[in-house]
Amino acid sequence: MFIALVGLTACGGGGGSGGVSPPPPAANAEATQGFWSGPVDAQTTALAVYLAEGPVWTIVQTGTATTALVVGTSTVSGSAFAVAGRNFNLASGATSSFSISGSVVPRGTLSVAAAGTAPAYALVYNKAYESPAQLADISGAWRATFNGGSVVLTLNISGAGVLTGSTNTGCSYTGSVAPHAGGVAVFDLALTESCVGSAIQQFAGITTLNAARTVLSAAFATSNLSGASAFQATR
């Protein structure tokens, strides 16, 4: 599950427009589905959600700082897997293409092969993925702060999964959350952002909860992957 705290796309500038849709599905991705985490190198850690239909969402941390969000699609052939997508640098706003490949032991280990100057590394499965998401667990009021506390986001999620929210800087949010298919610990997220003086933005992504159901983490992107970001909220 994501444990990172980064700014909303429009609060920090950037992002893109487009219809709401998650990364395109890919066949034969079931073997990689799950919550995965582990060190990439001595300074960097990856925390990833791989969905059975193919979408992949990965938070990258350097030390205690969140440095990137990777949005991609997984494909599997036998025990071999590959991911292709976009890497979003959450500090600079720069984006780049992203790809990895390796081997998978379902509900065990994702072993990523070395490529160029990038080292080989392994991510370990977290069986918390297998606990079905329940709307009752995510409904209620949530709050997040950004930019040293100067930006405050408040969200409310109804028992039916309807999302509304706003910031003290003039942005408003509408959307929905719904349990992802397959009885896993992931919610699908649709989010529309309206900010004073800016074009309306539409995003799709995922949301997860910590074990205590007190921390909501979300990652989301535009349909054409021109913009993406993440946030963490508490209650």
CATH 1.10.287 fits domain 30-129 = no
Q: What are the sequence ranges of the domains in the chain?
A: 9-18+130-234, 30-129
The whole-number pLDDT of residue 117 equals 86
Asked if 216 and 206 touch (Cβ cutoff 8 Å), the reply is no
What pLDDT was estimated at residue 26? Answer: 46
On the 0-12 / 13-18 / 19+ scale of CB atoms within 10 A, 200 is: exposed
CA dihedral 142, 146, 148, 150 (to 10 degrees): -80
The fold adopted by the segment(s) 9-18+130-234 is Lipocalin (2.40.128)
**pLDDT by residue for the chain (235 residues), tens digit each?**
333 333 333 333 333 333 344 444 445 789 999 999 999 999 999 999 999 999 999 999 998 888 899 999 999 999 999 999 999 998 888 999 999 999 999 999 999 999 988 899 999 999 999 999 999 999 999 999 888 889 899 999 999 999 999 999 999 999 999 999 999 999 999 999 999 888 899 999 999 999 999 999 999 999 999 889 888 899 9
pLDDT of residue 22: 44
pLDDT at 7: 34
pTM value is 0.87
- Helix or strand or coil: residue 23? coil
Q: Distance between CA atoms of 115 and 228, rounded to whole angstroms?
A: 25
Amino acid in position 179: P
Answer yes or no: same fold for 9-18+130-234 and 30-129. Answer: yes
Supply the pLDDT for residue 15. 33
Cβ–Cβ under 8 Å, residues 223 and 23 = no
Say if CB 9 and CB 195 are below 8 A apart: no
Phi/psi-derived region of residue 161, left when phi > 0, alpha when psi is between -120 and 50, beta in every other case? left
Residue closest to 50 by CA, chosen among 74, 24, 68, 82 = 74
